[in-house]
Amino acid sequence: MRVLLAGLSLFAFAAAADAAQVRNFFAPHLEGARIDACLDGGACGKPAADAFCRVQGYDRAMIFQRESYASTRALDSGRLCTGDCIAFRQVKCFTDKSDMAGL
Per-residue confidence of the chain (103 residues) as pLDDT tens digits? 444 334 434 444 444 445 689 999 999 998 899 999 999 989 999 999 999 999 999 999 999 999 999 999 999 999 999 999 999 999 999 998 765 555 5
**CA gap 6, 28 in Å, rounded:** 38
Cα 52 from chain centre: 7
**Is 12 among the domain residues?**
no
Q: Is residue 80 part of a domain?
A: yes
Q: Per the domain annotation, does 2 fall within a domain?
A: no
Residue 5 maps to a domain: no
64 in a structural domain: yes
For residue 14, being part of any structural domain is answered with no
Burial class (CB in 10 A: 0-12, 13-18, 19+), 2: exposed
- State the pLDDT at residue 46: 98
In this structure, is residue 13 part of a structural domain? no
- Return the SS3 of 42: coil
| Global model pTM greater than 0.85 | no
Residue 46: give the domain boundaries: 22-98
| Assigned domain for 17 exists | no
In the chain, the number of structural domains is 1
